[in-house]
Amino acid sequence: MTEPQAVRTDTPVLPQPGLTQPSVDGKYVYCIIRLDKPKDFGSVGIGGGQRVYTVHFRDLAAIVSDTPLVIYDPTREHVLAHEFVNETVMREFTVIPMSFGTVFRSEDDVTELLRSTYQAFSDVLDKMQDKIEFGLKVLWEREKVIANLERENDEIRRLKDEISRNTASSTYFARMQLGRLVEAALEGVQSRYVADIHEALKPVAVASRSNKVIGDRMIVNAAFLVDRTQEHAFDERVKEVSRRYEDLLTFKYTGPWPPYNFVNIKLKLEKAN
């Protein structure tokens, strides 16, 4: 269920043109946790297995690894490396994920981040305590859904029969009518599916968020915030609802993720060149 699988990058990251001389003093920040003593998370960092460790301010810690001062392209390799670290940390801690590619110039700058945003980080850590995120994308097989409609909807079936029997000019209007009917029915079916899926999962989630769908086959692109104690129940519900629509819909279920969709701290950051 957990995907994507982590793949580590072994290729050196080339500095982007327009940047100053790369040095390895930079710190790539993955996430913020509550921890007051140093901890090593192993050599799993971005840019070829850098050591992942903590930078502290009071009871907060930033999870970082050393990096040259570069811009990281959001390639799958890089994104997975970022994600793998967060997954590792998440096994033991509640995390506030940083957005991909956040690089600070020095350890002092990271400490400054923790100091200046201390209150906001602390509040969100309290709110997110023991909560994880799951992603759910649902795609439909349009042709199958239409076939299903033709079986269930008398009006559509009648029109279809009429069209297949007639070759005369009346079929033109029948076809137009059929097209409109199918479109309207599809819309209705789609919103029924979406509502049904949300209804099934809402009782076992703390919160949910709908994102923009990707591509033309997707009807649901949602994130759910789930309490760790409800993880199993949520899992079961997803399986249940996906069985219900086995032939018509494809469920892409991912997680647990850090609560990317439910944490919104706007950091006041500026370029440091």
Partner 1 sequence: MGLITKLLFFPVTGPVAGIRWTLGKVQRVVEDELVDDTPIKQELMELQMLVELGDIDDEEYLQRESVLMQRLRDVREWRERLGMATAGGPVRVARESTKDE
Q: Which of 59, 66, 107, 109 binds partner 1 (CB under 8 A)?
A: 109
Q: Which of 139, 145, 174, 241 binds partner 1 (CB under 8 A)?
A: 139
Q: Is 157 in the site for partner 1 (CB under 8 A)?
A: no
Q: Which of 9, 102, 230, 261 binds partner 1 (CB under 8 A)?
A: 102
Q: Are 58 and 32 in contact (CB under 8 A)?
A: no
Stretch binding partner 1 (CB under 8 A), from 69-77, 181-189, 229-237, 255-263:
69-77
Q: Is 156 in the site for partner 1 (CB under 8 A)?
A: no
Query: Closer to partner 1 at the Cβ: 174 or 263?
Result: 263
* Secondary structure (DSSP) of 155-183: HHHHHHHHHHH--STHHHHHHHHHHHHHH
Q: Is 1 in the site for partner 1 (CB under 8 A)?
A: no
Q: In angstroms, rounded to a whole number, what is the distance separating the alpha carbons of residues 152 and 185?
A: 11
Find residue 227's DSSP bridge partners. 131
Q: In angstroms, rounded to a whole number, what is the distance separating the alpha carbons of residues 105 and 199?
A: 46
Query: Closer to partner 1 at the Cβ: 81 or 204?
Result: 81
Q: In angstroms, rounded to a whole number, what is the distance separating the alpha carbons of residues 221 and 213?
A: 5
* Residue 173, number of CB atoms within 10 A of its CB: 9
User: How many angstroms separate the Cα of 226 from the Cα of each of 87, 125, 212, 221?
Assistant: 16, 15, 21, 16
Q: Is 265 in the site for partner 1 (CB under 8 A)?
A: no
Q: Is 24 in the site for partner 1 (CB under 8 A)?
A: no
Q: Which of 8, 49, 88, 101 binds partner 1 (CB under 8 A)?
A: 101
Rounded least distance, CB 215 to partner 1, Å: 5
Query: Closer to partner 1 at the Cβ: 79 or 233?
Result: 79
- Please list every residue from 222 through 261 that binds partner 1, using CB under 8 A: 250, 252
Q: Which of 40, 246, 247, 270 binds partner 1 (CB under 8 A)?
A: 270
Helix (H, G, I), strand (E, B) or coil at 14: coil
Helix (H, G, I), strand (E, B) or coil at 197: helix
Query: Closer to partner 1 at the Cβ: 18 or 167?
Result: 18
Q: Retrieve residue 173's tokens.
A: 């209007």
Helices (H), 93-169: 107-116, 118-128, 142-152, 154-165
Q: Retrieve residue 48's tokens.
A: 């070829």
Q: In angstroms, rounded to a whole number, what is the distance separating the alpha carbons of residues 226 and 242?
A: 18
Q: Is 21 in the site for partner 1 (CB under 8 A)?
A: no
Q: Is 215 in the site for partner 1 (CB under 8 A)?
A: yes
DSSP annotation of 195: H
Q: Which of 55, 61, 70, 223 binds partner 1 (CB under 8 A)?
A: 70
Q: Is 104 in the site for partner 1 (CB under 8 A)?
A: yes
Interaction site with partner 1 (CB under 8 A): 16-19, 26, 69-76, 101-105, 109, 112-113, 116-117, 137, 139, 214-215, 218, 250, 252, 267-273
